[in-house]
Structures are given as C-alpha cells and as structure tokens.
Structure 1
C-alpha cells in the first residue's frame, strides 16, 4: 500500500514496511531511524509515519554507492 502526498506535488509516500523491504530491515528499525532523525517522516492524521519515496530512494542510492566503492589505499 502506498499513498500520494496532498502537498501539491505527486510525491509518493511509503509505509515503514515498504521502506523496510527496500533496506531489508525490520519496520521497527525504520521507525527508530525516523525517531533519531536519520530519515525524514510525515505523520498522518492518525499518527502513522510515512516516508517520501524520493528521500528514501536517495538514501538507498547513497548507501549502495558507498558499499560498491573500492577500498581506500593507504
């Protein structure tokens, strides 16, 4: 399930479960990241967290590129 933000943009919002699946972590880990400020979140009127897809994909791309960089030479 995903919803579209009503902020004037057609930004897709992801649930903690969807973000967790992308990063291959538990949804509670995503919630902890949001509480710690590592990833931005939006609260729905019901109090649930949603995450901007563009921010999530950017974070994932940064982590993926860091993981594929060759090791630094001394």
Structure 2
C-alpha cells in the first residue's frame, strides 16, 4: 500500500455501494472507468479512499438538487 494512503480510512466496495444505494458491481465498474481511485490490499481486494468517495457523493447529491 502506498504510504500516502496509510492514514486515510478505506471503504470496501459494499460500503461504497451502500452509500450510493447501488450494487457493489456498479462500484467496481466505476473504479474500472476511473471514477474512483482504488487501493489494492495484499489479498488483491479493492478498497476506496473514504474522503474521495464522500466528495463524489457530495457532488452527486448536489447535482440532483
């Protein structure tokens, strides 16, 4: 894991999906499309930087209003 992300809280695809009320596979597609930065665990699982996810959530909810 990159040291710049060491202090950042990370979220699982399921946690991100719950915040956006979408399927976890949708979150994976967003990552593949470059909409979200992923960090890989030693086991190869995707994790997402919480601050980036929350910022995307804020911009998505402000676009809807």
In structure 2, the gaps of 5 or more residues are none
Which structure has the larger Rg over C-alpha atoms? Answer: 1
Deviation beyond 4 Å, 4+ runs, structure 1: none
CA distance in 1 between counterparts of 2:2 and 2:15 reads 19
Matched, 1:65 2:48: no
TM-score (ref. length: structure 1): 0.79
CA distance in 1 between counterparts of 2:40 and 2:56 reads 20
1:67 deviation in Å? 0.7
In structure 1, the gaps of 5 or more residues are 69-74
Structure ranking higher on relative contact order (CA contacts 8 Å, 6+ apart): 2
CA distance in 2 between counterparts of 1:30 and 1:17 reads 8
More helix by share: 2
TM-score (ref. length: structure 2): 0.89
